Amino acid sequence: MKLSIVIPCYNAEATIAAQLEALECQQCAIPWEIIIVNNRCTDRSIEIARDYQSRLPNLRVVDALARQGV
């Protein structure tokens, strides 16, 4: 990948869908990826992010469970 967009995510249920929809509309001439970092979310943030993986094949969710919060 030439470009990685890293989104630290802690209980972002209210905003994560809007952010991913905005990224879905982007066009880029170089290979890019989106990395959602799960910082011990307790809401539906990660479930919502995973729902976008079919629309954004360059989207990955990784766990960073050692520390909670953004």
**What is the model's pLDDT at position 65?**
86
Q: Supply angle C-alpha 61, 38, 8, rounded to 5.
A: 95
Encode pLDDT of 10-67 as tens digits.
999 999 999 999 999 999 999 999 999 999 999 999 999 999 999 999 999 999 988 7
- Residue 69, pLDDT > 80, answer no
**What is the model's pLDDT at position 66?**
86
- Residue 70, pLDDT > 70, answer no
**What is the model's pLDDT at position 60?**
98
**What is the model's pLDDT at position 1?**
77
CA 36 to chain centre: 3
